[in-house]
Amino acid sequence: MEKSNLRELFTFEETDDPLIEDDQYVLNADEDLYIQVCDGFDYGGKTSYVVNRMVQIRHDEFGSEQMGEYKKLSDAMRKVIDLHKE
């Protein structure tokens, strides 16, 4: 799948407060799967893309499980799609 086609499967969400949260790409078919954009400027190096899955910890408590870190957005997007197929 080409990069442009991959991006159509996700919605980019820009943070309102970059000091507290990162931008992210959320999979349209499953909002529990998303890619955190770790901007190189904020993280002291090159930008990386962290694949996360929202998980329920308790009845009313949720957290995220890190599923991998990637240098390329397209690689992170492919990982999310693979996780969604599982």
Predicted TM-score of the model (pTM): 0.85
User: Tokens at residue 38, please?
Assistant: 């770790």
Residue 53 CB coordination number (10 Å): 16
Q: Give the type of residue at 85.
A: K
The band of 86, judged by pLDDT with boundaries at 50, 70 and 90, is confident
Task: Name the residue with higher pLDDT: 2 or 27.
Answer: 27
The rounded Cα 60 to chain-centroid distance in angstroms is: 22
